[in-house]
Structure 1
Amino acid sequence: MVEIVRSSDLVLIGFLQSLLENANIPVLVADMHISALEGMTGAFPRRILVPDDHVAQARRLIREAGLDAELRHV
């Protein structure tokens, strides 16, 4: 799994999860529980991870949605 986005913005995370799942890209939203436990102060942002073989497609979809600034550049 490769992290492609890290954010404390719940709306953004939900949108990206939906966008990728609708394109049949498996998505794991990591750190959901710790983020909720710490009171959403932003200390533990949520992370979107996709399988290695879907990274290029996921990045392309996010760019096409106009959200390329949200992509992790690792």
Structure 2
Amino acid sequence: MKELLRTTDPVKIALATALLEGEGITAFQLDVHMSILEGSLGILPRRLMVAQRDLFLARAILSDNGIGPE
């Protein structure tokens, strides 16, 4: 698994996941439950991971839709 996106914006993560799933790319979110430790302040970023073989295409899909790293 390779990191595709790291952000504190849950809407950006949801949009990126939907775009990737629409193209048949499986994405996995890490650090989703860290809000318990941070007190739901949204200061700890979530990571979106994809398989190594899908990384190039996934980056292109996000870039074409205006989603990039923070």
Q: Is the 8 A contact 1:8 1:40 kept in 2?
A: no
In the alignment of these two chains, the number of paired residues is 68
The equivalences for 1:1-12 within 5 A come to 1-12=1-12
| CA gap 1:66/1:31 in 2 versus in 1, 3 angstroms | same
Alignment partner of 1:50 is 2:44: no
- Which runs of at least 4 in structure 1 moved beyond 3 Å after TM superposition? none
Distance 2:56 2:64 in 1: 12
Task: Report the TM-score when normalising by structure 2.
Answer: 0.88
Deviation readout 1:5-58 (Å, 9 max, x if unpaired): 100101101000111111110100000011x2121331x210000000000000
Task: Report the TM-score when normalising by structure 1.
Answer: 0.84
The equivalences for 1:1-74 within 5 A come to 1-34=1-34, 36-37=35-36, 38=38, 39-42=40-43, 44-68=44-68, 70=69
Deviation at residue 67 of structure 1 after TM alignment: 1.9
Structure 1: gaps (5+ residues) = none
Structure 2: gaps (5+ residues) = none
